[in-house]
Structure 1
Amino acid sequence: MIPLMLDLMGRRVLIFGGGDVGARKAAYFEHEAEVTVISRSFSPDLEGLAVERQEADLSALADEALQALLAGAFLAVAATPDPALNDRIGRLCAGAGILFNNAAGEAGDVIIPSVVRGSRYLVAISTRGKSPAVSRYLRMRLETEYADLDRMIELQEEMRSVLKEIEPVQEERSKALWKILSDDEIREALAADYDRARAMAIERYLHA
């Protein structure tokens, strides 16, 4: 497997299973994709999510009925408590060329990672399902230790634009940006005063 980031805007994502696991999967996709949750019953955690619900007893459906549900889907998630049913959905997805994630059963071709998200960055973490606890631990450490990462990215973006105007050599621009990133005092200043951190970066590392 290789990591990719996909634009799912307007894409149809199906979640088979409306329990707690299905609700978590739906919450992951609902901000971008068109999500439909198909289940006999639905978790209260689905309340307030921008998802469509479709009631169906999945275990009673024949393959033809499941294939009809899958029509037009870009990605499907099997999140029922029945691994055999999940695997059956996975086989149908493989036959139809639909990306598939399996919450319980044979692994699909998509892994849903733990995500650290800022306004200017996105980090995905996965242990390939071997240890969700480690993924969660890494996410929490990143959120704690790099709480001001958005501000550093903003500063880097601004300083990069300035450097393009005053420094013609790419290697020298990269060195200056790396020094700003590595400067502990600038990082500490960012937490409280962006303008002060900006002034320090210009004074120390930008030279016309």
Structure 2
Amino acid sequence: MAEKNNFLPLMLDLSGRKIIIFGGGSVGERKAELFSGCADTLVFSLEFSQRLQELEASGQVRLFRVDLLAASDSELRKLISGAFIVIPATSSFELNRKITLVARESDILINQVDALGSVVIPSVIKRGDLVIGISTLGHSPAVSKYTRRQIEGLITPAYSDMIRLQDELRTYLKQYVAEQRKRKELLWKVLENEAVWNGFSESYEKAEERAYAIISDCLENSGK
């Protein structure tokens, strides 16, 4: 029987949370870019990639030059103090393992780049407020990448516009349609209407106009 995994995808608000990354190379850079827009992101290393230095210059991350190979367990504990997630991303397997053990002792979440840690960071697709995470729990990065490519071909920028329109329509309908079931039905009529989707290719206003026309017709026909 396959071992049960207890991973559950969640959307977390990382505002004010501290993300600690060890390693200033390409892996640390990729992790820092992911977190820099939504959390307090700190990177510890002796050397840093050009991109990480650019991120620091723009105030998106904080870089600290530390000889991690010479750091003791107690020094590492001080470095990770207050961290929400620790990411050991150095080029040394042994050093990554040491950092992992210290973080685990402190009951801090860990994203490991060379093993399955307590946090798995998925491949992320963003279309405005639509966020999709893809992960194979480390079993097949190739399948994860392939899946991302497939989904990116389907999820066009119009999805972001549709989210905006649906939010606008929900607010509008709450003022004029008391029954929640009816509001839901009307929103789905807009969502499944090809003319509305096609309208986004012209402009947001064109799609909006078609959506309100659909709702108006439905309300008139139902006597609302």
The TM-score, its normalising length taken from structure 1, stands at 0.90
Q: How do 1:1-208 residues align onto structure 2 when only pairs under 5 Å count?
A: 1-49=7-55, 50-105=60-115, 107-147=116-156, 148-206=158-216, 207=219, 208=224
C-alpha displacement of 1:180: 1.1
Q: Which contiguous aligned blocks of 4+ residues in structure 1 show a shift greater than 4 angstroms? A: none
Structure 2 unpaired stretches of 5+:
1-6
Q: Look up the SS of the partner of 1:73 in the other structure.
A: coil
Q: 1:20 Cα shift? A: 0.4
Can you give the 5+ residue segments of structure 1 that lack an aligned partner in the other structure? none
CA-atom RMSD in angstroms: 1.8
Output one character per residue of 1:121-165: Cα deviation in whole Å (capped at 9) or x when no partner: 222221112222333333334333222111101111122122222
Amino acid at match of 2:119: V
Amino acid paired to 2:114: A
The separation in 2 between residues aligned to 1:68 and 1:84, in whole angstroms, is 19
Pair 134,192 (structure 1): closer, same or farther in 2 beyond 3 Å: farther
Aligned equivalents of 1:52 and 1:73: distance in 2? 14
Distance in 1 between residues matched to 2:111 and 2:159, nearest whole Å: 31
Aligned length: 207
Tell me, in whole angstroms, the C-alpha distance in 1 between the residues paired with 2:209 and 2:40.
44
Residue 37 of structure 1: CA displacement? Answer: 1.0
> How far apart, in 1, do the equivalents of 2:61 and 2:173 lie?
45
> TM-score, with normalisation over the residues of structure 2?
0.85
Separation (CA, whole Å) in 1 of partners of 2:35 and 2:181 = 40
Q: State how far apart, in whole Å, the 1-side matches of 2:16 and 2:214 are.
A: 46
Moved more, 90-99 or 50-59: 50-59
1:123 and 1:168 mapped to 2: Cα distance?
Answer: 32
CA distance in 2, matches of 1:93, 1:110: 13
**Which SS does the other structure have where 1:110 is aligned?**
coil
